[in-house]
Structure 1
Amino acid sequence: MSADTHKNTEVGISENEAPVSTERFLTFTCDGLNIGVSTNYVIEIITDHSITMLPLVPDYLKGIISMRGEIIPIIDIRLRMGKLPIEYTSTTCIIILDINDVKIGILVDAVQQVMDVDQSLISPVPVENQQELIRGMVSSGGNSVILFLDCEKLIEAY
C-alpha cells in the first residue's frame, strides 16, 4: 500500500470520492415536527428551571432565567413558529444556545438525539412551505423529515 493510498483510507475516503462534510445536530420536536440545531450553538439542555415572566413582550418570549449569574431570554420555539401553545410536560426542556456571543434559550417539546448529517444532503425548503426560521431539510428515512433551525434568523428577530 502506498503512502497516498493509506492516507485516504485513514480519513474514510477512496481516491474517487469527495470528502463528506458532516455536521452534528441536536434534534428536538416541536408540534410534531423534527427539528435540528447545530451542536456548534448548543451550550446545554436544562429540564427544571424557573422562568421569570416579563411584561409587554411578544407571547413567544416566555421570560428570562438566571443561569450562573447570566440573564438568558427564553423563547418558546413553538409560539415563535406560529404554532398553538401547549401545556408543558415532563419532556419539555430548554436548549441553551450561544449564537454569535448572544445566549438564548429555546423551549422545545422534547429533545430527541444527536446525529451527524451530511451537509450535501440538506436541501432548501420549498418556497410554498417556507418558514423564516428553517434553513433546510433532509429526509431521515421512511416518511420522516428533519428541518434545520436557522439560528442567525432566530436572534435577528429577537
Structure 2
Amino acid sequence: MSTENTAIDSITDFPASTERFLTFMSDGLTIGVSTNYVTEIITNHAITMIPLVPDYVKGIINLRGQIIPIIDIRLRMGKASIDYTNTTCIIVLNINDTNLGIIVDSVQQVIDIDKAQISPVPTESHQELINGMISLNEHSVLLFLDQEQLTEPVF
C-alpha cells in the first residue's frame, strides 16, 4: 500500500473492505462507480430520441438486440449541457437487473478503494446522486455515484 495515499490499494493487495471503482469525468468532477455495476463502455453509438421524457434522458440504444435507456449524467445532476466530443462515452450499468447507459465526459481509470476511507457527502450539498467522497490527494476528490438513484425518476 502506498504511503502517499492509503485509500488506494494496489491490485495485488485486495482485502475484503476494498472495492474496485471505474472513475470518469463529468463537468470537471471525478466520479466513481462500482465495477460491480459496469457491464461495458461504448463510444460512437447512435442514440434514438424518444418523446415525453425528462431532458436528461437522451433516448435509447439497441445494443446487440437489447434496448437500453441512455441518460446524460451532467443533465441528471442539474449541470449544463455540452457538445459531445471524441472522449465522450457511454458507461452501461446493470442496476438490479436493469440496464442503463450514462453519458460521461470521459472515462479515467479503475482504482481500488478501501471502503472504510469513504466519507459521507455533506447534507447541505443536495447531491442525491452522490453517496460518498474521498480525497485522492491534496488537489483531487473522488465522488461516489449512488447508482441505485439513477433509476429513480426526477420530476
Quick check: TM above 0.5? yes
Q: Deviations over 1:99-141 (max 9, x none)?
A: 0100000000000000000000001001122300001000001
Matches within 5 A, 1:1-158: 21-157=17-153
Q: Which runs of 4 or more aligned residues in structure 1 lie more than 2 Å from their structure 2 counterparts after TM superposition?
A: none
- Structure 1 or 2, whichever has the larger Rg, is 1
Give 2:40's aligned amino acid.
Answer: E
Separation in 2, partners of 1:20, 1:49: 36
Aligned length: 142
Deviation at 1:142, TM superposition (A): 1.7
Gaps of 5+ in 1: 1-10, 13-18
Q: Percent identity?
A: 68
Q: What root-mean-square deviation, in Å, do the aligned CA atoms of Structure 1 and Structure 2 show?
A: 1.5
Greater strand fraction, Structure 1 or Structure 2:
2
Deviation at 1:20, TM superposition (A): 5.7
Give 1:103's aligned amino acid.
Answer: N
Separation in 2, partners of 1:114, 1:130: 27
User: What TM-score do you get using the length of structure 1 for normalisation?
Assistant: 0.86
Gaps of 5+ in 2: 1-11
Separation in 2, partners of 1:84, 1:48: 21
Give 2:72's aligned amino acid.
Answer: D
User: What TM-score do you get using the length of structure 2 for normalisation?
Assistant: 0.88
Separation in 2, partners of 1:48, 1:118: 34
Give 1:31's aligned amino acid.
Answer: D
